[in-house]
Structure 1
Amino acid sequence: MGMPSINIIFRELAKTFEQRNDNGIVALVLANNAGMNPKEYRPGDDLDSSIAKDAKTQIQFAMEGGREKPQKVICYFCQAEYADLDTVLDELDNVKFDYLTFGSELQEEQKTKVMKWIKETRESGKKIKAVLANAKADNEGIINYTTESVTVNGIEYEADNFCSRIAGILAGTPLTMSCTYTVLDDVESCTKLSKKEMDEKIDAGEFIVFRDGDYIRVARGINSLTTVSDTKTDDFKKIKMIDVMDHVSTDLTDTIKNNWLGQYPNNYDNKCLLLANCQEYLDGLVSRTILSSASIEIDIEGNKKYLESKNEDTVNMTEDQIKKALTGENVFLSSQMGILDAMENFNIDIVV
């Protein structure tokens, strides 16, 4: 029997998807600061004087944001070289955040451990992501930042020391926007790449920044996913689309946990009340131009399979009878949603 389950499955049939809400939260793990309790900072907050200078820089990077600021940055302080990484990951299991990142270099085995943890955590239903340097993960939950170096205030930062800045940009990007071409006002220069090299890196699932005239910009808001399938199409490569999916999943799951699970008899009338609750939320996302359309209904096929598993004869049942049938402790719903992408590619035909 196990624990009660809430499974929200997102599939792209042709143009089906989902959504999100407020700006995100960054979980920033810092080494060489063992013994300090976790701290939360919001943009504009003063940092504790006890925090080391390098760690302060990383926190400030994360709070800088991009289009907007992140909600907050939650800081976890580790031993040297992240020796207690396992302990921190265990603590983060029960912390609400959107983007995990680190303030300095991870060893390869540590990076592999973090990627595995992110993938497993996402599969369990907690939709988090990580920004890591040079992490070829082929997964929508991992952003692979690979720009070799950037210069801020005359100081050069390698990729491992700039992931916090990228995480802050992503967490500070509203759901109606993408981070593509976000300007990094604080960055003076970055590793130079040719157009061909940038195209190749983006196609390989690498998140990079580049010089565009007087500005340093995000090249394209993509994650590390490169392998597509019938259930994971090209849209899954886009950070914006995944952010929307993740936030819809989280919002609906939290709503059901807090307001429905175990609190109502499982009959057709109460299922209709639940559907109305979910539809109202989805309609709000449509009105905010996060979704183009959205609907949710009882999953007829799910009900049918359940009834047949209980040796019920569904052959002579009408669709309406299957829809209204009792399904024990299980509620089967299906949703179709269209996620609005941001404008990124422009073709202008000028005739003179």
Structure 2
Amino acid sequence: MSRLLSPLGLSLPILAAPMAGGPSTPALVIAAARAGGLGFLGGGYKTPQALAEQIEAVRAEGVPFGVNLFAPNPVPVSAEDYRDYVRAIRSEAARYGLPLPDGDPVEDDDHWTDKIDLLVANPVPVVSFTFGLPDRSVVAKLRKAGSTVVQTVTSADEARLAAEAGVDAVAVQASAAGGHSGTFTPAQLPPPTPLPELVAQVCSAVTLPVIAAGGIAQSGDVADALRAGAEAAAVGTALLRTDESGASAPHKAALADPAFDTTVITRAFTGRPARALRNYFIDHYDDIAPAGYPALHHLTSPLRKAAAAAGDTRLIHLWAGTGHRHARTEPATRTFARLAADL
């Protein structure tokens, strides 16, 4: 019996990983539950009101689900480095008539306190965190409210810290994952350890239930993760092209475009390391992009949105894991069925 899945009533050890910024729609979360698994709403970048509305939309369907938040772990950037980067990318913004800010970097905590208050007052089945480790008191409040608390980790050391904070489970994210790395130390990325090996390391370090994530795109990947000791596997990129995904049309198309054949880790878009399809923006700006989150995210966000609306894949953050070629245009339930084929 799974310590993690059984209490939630799940019949399939496959989860839809949270993908902030649009892909993780209520429809995708509901589809994951209908398939027997669990889906997560990506709470990052949303206002508390927008998150509350999505929670209620999923809750109305009577299915288990989770909410993921970005735990504050700021990466400060100097005003000088920030302004140098503004000047560097100004010509790209000018293509869309976008003025870039001349002031200081925008640093915020993504409405952290208000979102925690929302989840304590209106508990959801599962709450997960990434980027940083919340205070033990926050974990305790959520657990007292009835939520299972999951922490994203990228190493055995981070898993030990999560266990000390009192979480119920850890999501072990390998470097093959698409989008942002959940590492606690974004200036020093963890080594590219294969997911099964990383899962085994974490299972040896802590007694908590483990969710495996990062590069899972085929049924064999799921089976390998479970054999290594995980109780469930989380998939993200494999769901980006599904009917229920909220990823932009150019992002979905790029995942299958032979012109985009390489993924790289970059901080050019947000100032925090994330894996994406290599494109023009990465080639031209990754080497000069300073570390600085969330300042660079706020700086480039209007440009990325304008490019997405125009179908300009040169300037979009095309988040993708190493298994992106296995993402298909199909209902999410079919993707879940394919991933479960070897179980």
Q: TM-score, normalised by structure 1?
A: 0.30
